[in-house]
Amino acid sequence: MVVPGWIPRGALAALCLSLVHGCGAPDPRPGELRGAHLTPPWPKPDFTLTDTDGDDFAFRKETSGSVTLLFFGFTNCPDVCPVQLANLAAVLHRQPGEIANRVRVVFVTTDPARDTPDRLRAWLDRFDPAFVGLAGPLDEVNRILRSVGLAPAVKVPTNDGGYAMGHAAQIIAYTEDERAHVMYPSGTRQEDWAHDLPRLVRGDWARIDQ
C-alpha cells in the first residue's frame, strides 16, 4: 500500500520535487509523452540484485538495449502495486511483438523479508511471466531508491500486528540511451501506457530534450 502519510514529510517533499513536473503535473500537450518529464534525464543506475531464480542480475548490463521500466513495491500491497502492473501488462499484451519484445519490466521488492523468490515469481506471473523480479537487503534497496531520486521504503505497523511498506509508486522508464526521460506516477492509465510505450521504443523521447 502506498499512502503519502507513511512517508516522512521531508522525504515526501523531496519525492515531489524529484518529479520535476511534480505532484499534480499538468496534462501534456498533444504529441508529448504522458509521463512526468525528467529534465535533465536521469542516468540508468548500475546495481546488482538477486532474481527469482537465485542468480545475480546486473541491472544496467542485463537491460542494455531495451526500454526498461523500473518499479519498486511489494507483493502484499493491496492496491497500487497490482494496479500499476496489471495496467502495464494489459497494454503490453496488446502491443505488436516489435514493441512488446523491446520493453522489459523490472520489479524490485521493498519487502525482502516476506517476498521469497517463489512468492515473488508467483505474484509476478499473475501479470506477465516475463516480468523480472529482484530482491536484496532492504538497506541496499533503499540505497538504490535514493540513487534514482526516490524516497526510501519504510516499514509501517498495521492494526493486526503485522506491517506494510510505504514506498514510492513511480515507474521510471529508461530508454536505449541508458537514461530516463520520463517517469510514470501511480494511477497511470492504460491509454497513457498505450500512447507512450511505442514512442519510447521508437525513440520519440529525444524530442523532450530539444
Single out the residue of 32, 42, 34 nearest to residue 193, CA to CA: 34
Q: What is the pTM of this model?
A: 0.84
**Which region among 7-16, 38-47, 52-61, 185-194 has the lowest average model confidence (pLDDT)?**
7-16
How confident is the model over 114-156, as pLDDT tens digits?
A: 999 999 999 999 999 999 999 999 999 999 999 999 999 999 9
Q: Does domain 45-147+169-209 have CATH number 3.40.30.10?
A: yes
Query: How much of the chain exceeds pLDDT 90, in percent?
Result: 78
Taking the alpha carbons at both ends of the chain, their separation in whole angstroms is 37
Q: Which amino acid is at 100?
A: A
CA–CA distance, 98 with 119 (Å, rounded to integer): 30
Whether the CB-CB separation of 169 and 70 falls below 8 Å is answered with: no
Question: What is the overall mean pLDDT for the chain?
Answer: 86
pLDDT at 27 over 80: no
Q: Write down the pLDDT at residue 204.
A: 78
Q: Write down the pLDDT at residue 206.
A: 67
How long, in residues, is the chain? 210
CA–CA distance, 168 with 38 (Å, rounded to integer): 16
Q: Which amino acid is at 11?
A: A
CA–CA distance, 121 with 103 (Å, rounded to integer): 19
pLDDT at 11 over 90: no
Sequence spans of domains, the chain? 45-147+169-209
